[in-house]
Structure 1
Amino acid sequence: MSILEIDMIDETDHLPAKTNQFVEDLLQFAAEHLKIEPDTEMSVTFTDNEHIQTINRDYRGKDQPTDVISFAIEELVEGETAIHFKEDEGLPRVLGDIIISVEKASEQAEAYGHSAERELGFLAVHGLLHLLGYDHMTAKEEKVMFGLQKEVLDAYGLQR
């Protein structure tokens, strides 16, 4: 039984099906490991540097490509009102969207000396943790988030 309902979108049209399946399997494993409730939805989009640079510029004010961007539905942005649903409404929990640059992941994998698959897995788990509200803006937050990220990746067998 899958915990997550994941919409996997390959904008590059070049991602092997096995890589797509690997990322989905890893995220399902992470969801179980992190005890995410069943019937939770999210999406993962694989794109290129040009498209993620546009997103990074438009939403984060940084006009450069990045490796992963997460858009958390549950994240409360200053000045916005949180949307809360009653548990008995039967609606699934929607975490949000993860966007990964396959080009940037390949560049980083080469720089770090590991496989592109390992880098995509790292970025997917990193993005998932952001969707769950984890961040790394302070040293304390970074220690918690990166520790949990390493725990999930190690448990799955993706040690560095």
Structure 2
Amino acid sequence: MSIDVLNETEFRLDELELVACARYVMGEMKVHPQADLCLRLVDEAAMETLHVQWMDLPGPTDVMSFPMDELRPGSDDEDPEEGVLGDIVLCPSVAEKQAAAAGHATEEELLLLTTHGILHLLGYDHAEPEEEKEMFELQRQLLLTFLATRGRNGA
């Protein structure tokens, strides 16, 4: 599994923990062990440009996902497909504001957003109430079990 982190910001974070979270989520979702993922951290101006270009929405957002080979979660019955999972673009300054409002650390918010982004790359969405319930419950379970395996208290 190849996971690249491109930090184009001044924000300092534990890139190894971000990679460990991504690796854990991809493993739990039975993504092919040779799948590639890129995590890119950008400032608000760059995120706003992407948000307007791809979603036609103003202002920066916290996370955007760009699937490449449209990989889906694997199953016990069939081998997962090999390929490029895609890119996740994170905006640490937006994440920092959200973390402060939620009462947890920015690093935990970035782990949450990484998990969220991977689920989007795997075809999960939250446009409809049932989809949102499924995706957010899975996201919560994945993040909490990752944090527990890392010896940290809940998010």
- TM-score normalised by the shorter chain: which range applies? 0.7 to 0.9
How far does residue 36 in structure 1 lie from its aligned partner after superposition? 1.3
Residue 66 in structure 1 maps to residue 61 in structure 2: yes
User: Which amino acid counterpart does residue 89 of structure 2 have in structure 1?
Assistant: I
| Cα distance per residue 1:20-66 (max 9 Å; x no partner) | 11100111111111111210001000111111001000111012110
Number of corresponding residues: 140
Alignment partner of 1:95 out of 85, 100, 111: 85
Listed as ranges, the matches of 1:78-89 within 5 Å are none
1:8 to partner: Cα distance: 0.8
Taking only the aligned residue pairs, the percentage that are identical comes to 34
Q: Per-residue displacement from partner, 1:69-113 (whole Å, max 9, x unpaired)?
A: 0011135xxxxxxxxxxxxxxx94111110000100111111100
CA-atom RMSD in angstroms: 1.5
Work out which of the two has the higher radius of gyration on C-alpha atoms and give 1 or 2: 1
Give CA deviations for 1:89-139 in whole Å, capped at 9, x if unaligned. xx9411111000010011111110000110000000000000000000001
Partner residue in 2 for 1:118? 108
What is the TM-score normalised by the length of structure 2?
Answer: 0.85
Give, in whole Å, the separation in 1 of the partners of 2:32 and 2:66. Answer: 19
TM-score, with structure 1 as normaliser: 0.83
CA contact (8 A) 2:44 2:60 kept: yes
The residue that corresponds to 1:148 in the other structure is 138
Where do 5+ consecutive residues of structure 1 fail to align?
A: 76-90
